Amino acid sequence: MENRYAKQELFSPIGREGQNLLQTKHILIMGAGALGSANAEMLVRAGIGKVTIIDRDIVESSNLHRQQLYTEKEAEEHTPKAIAAKERLQRINQDTIIDAFVLDADAANLEKLIRNVNLIIDGTDNFDIRFILNDLSQKYQIPWIFGASAGSFGMTYTFIPGKTPCLHCLFPSIPGIGMSCDTSGIIGPAIQMTASYQTTEAMKWLTENEEALRTSLLFFDIWHGQQQTIGMNKGKNKECLSCGNHRTYPYLNQQEAAYIDVLCGQDTVQIRPSSKKKYDFSYIAKHLQSHGHVRSNSYVLTCLYRDYRLAVFYDGRVLIHGAKKKDEAKSIYNEFFAETNLNLVTKE
């Protein structure tokens, strides 16, 4: 049998030894959107031992121009991204163990999934979850590789607990306005470039080439041909509540509350109930089918309603596609799920 990694082992900083190491390592990829799927594909092709992949969303047609694991079929069937990702990744490499979770990640459920992980790859689209990842990274001493992209821009940094500053050192609080595909659009190559930098750093860490890690924050604009690195010698804040001497991991202790999110790049609002609950699906299906065709798979029930498409997840979340504003989504939600008497808290 031909060695499928022969040309990767021939790259001298990895070699046969690095390849063997890679095949014993376990990474968590948080988010299976554009960056998550690009990183997952590269690392699974590279022969990583185990991947835990977490995503709360379903595949949409407007994802396809940049989210490489998915096809038109999965957009039509509204397959959850984590499930579609696992299916494609196993066709690429059946030797990699892939644990896929359709899950709205928070501090509590992530804390359970993060044990024994060697590295976290950021495939998220918002800073709320990144600040949670950052606290978990510090608490469990697991490095994480930040990546973000919008328009033709991208940025990335490799956070190594005990060695580099942490995200909370760089931003004293969660940035209120970040560039996203909603504000700036997004082109595929900006995603691929950001993910290429992330995966390269991941390969260095996982093959124990720690001295080769990039120590600066990298920022680029692939359309306008700009690239800049920023040194981090003065980045560390000794008073930092996430990585300093008197740390409290503030983002691990948030109160659970129902809240409303606007998801990246989809004119979609997510409503999450404050406590885990199961809906009565047969009741909902009966109620909804007067408005449009109701479809369901093992993870999600979808239905057209006026100009919206509702996706009701078994974990209680409801996505309202086509809703641009939170109030609009809230009133739709209340029409169908009013009996739940949710105390909806709007997160800004």
Partner 1 sequence: MIKVLFFARLQEELGKDNMELDTAGWTIDELKNWLETEYKLDGVTQTMTAVNEEFTDGSHILASGDTVALIPPVSGG
Q: Which residues bind partner 1 (CB under 8 A)?
A: 12, 31, 33-36, 122-127, 147-151, 153-155, 165, 170-171, 175-184, 186, 191, 194, 217, 219, 221, 226, 228-235, 237, 264-265
Paired with 80 in beta bridges are 58
DSSP strand pairing (119-122 vs 97-102): unpaired
- Per-residue binding letters, 34-53, with a copy of itself (x by CB under 8 A): ----x--xx--xxx------
* Piece of 102-110, 127-135, 221-229, 245-253 that binds a copy of itself (CB under 8 A): 221-229
CA atoms within 13 A on the CB side of 302: 20
134 vs 302, beta carbon nearer partner 1: 134
* Partner touching 244 among a copy of itself, partner 1, none, CB below 5 to 8 Å by kind: none
* Partner touching 66 among partner 1, a copy of itself, none, CB below 5 to 8 Å by kind: a copy of itself
Question: How many whole angstroms from its chain centre is CA 336?
Answer: 29
Considering only 25, 130, 204, 330, the residue that binds a copy of itself (CB under 8 A) is 204
* Partner touching 258 among a copy of itself, partner 1, none, CB below 5 to 8 Å by kind: none
* Partner touching 222 among partner 1, a copy of itself, none, CB below 5 to 8 Å by kind: a copy of itself
**Are the CB atoms for 114 and 105 separated by under 8 Å?**
no
DSSP element (H, E) containing 25: none
How many Å is the Cα radius of gyration of the chain? 21
302 vs 326, beta carbon nearer partner 1: 326
265 vs 322, beta carbon nearer partner 1: 265
Cα–Cα–Cα angle for 280, 284, 289, rounded to 5 degrees = 155
Residues 6 or more apart in contact with residue 253 via CB below 8 angstroms? 107
* Partner touching 148 among partner 1, a copy of itself, none, CB below 5 to 8 Å by kind: partner 1
Amino acid (1-letter code) at residue 92: I
* Partner touching 153 among partner 1, a copy of itself, none, CB below 5 to 8 Å by kind: partner 1
Residues 6 or more apart in contact with residue 169 via CB below 8 angstroms? 235, 236, 237, 240, 242, 243
The rounded distance, in Å, linking the Cα atoms of 261 and 348 is 8
Residues 6 or more apart in contact with residue 172 via CB below 8 angstroms? none
As a residue count, the chain comes to: 348
Q: Which positions lie near a copy of itself, rule CB under 8 A? A: 1-14, 38, 41-42, 45-47, 60-62, 64-66, 68, 71-73, 75, 91-94, 151-152, 181-182, 184-190, 192-193, 195-197, 199-200, 203-204, 212, 214, 222-225, 227, 229, 265, 321
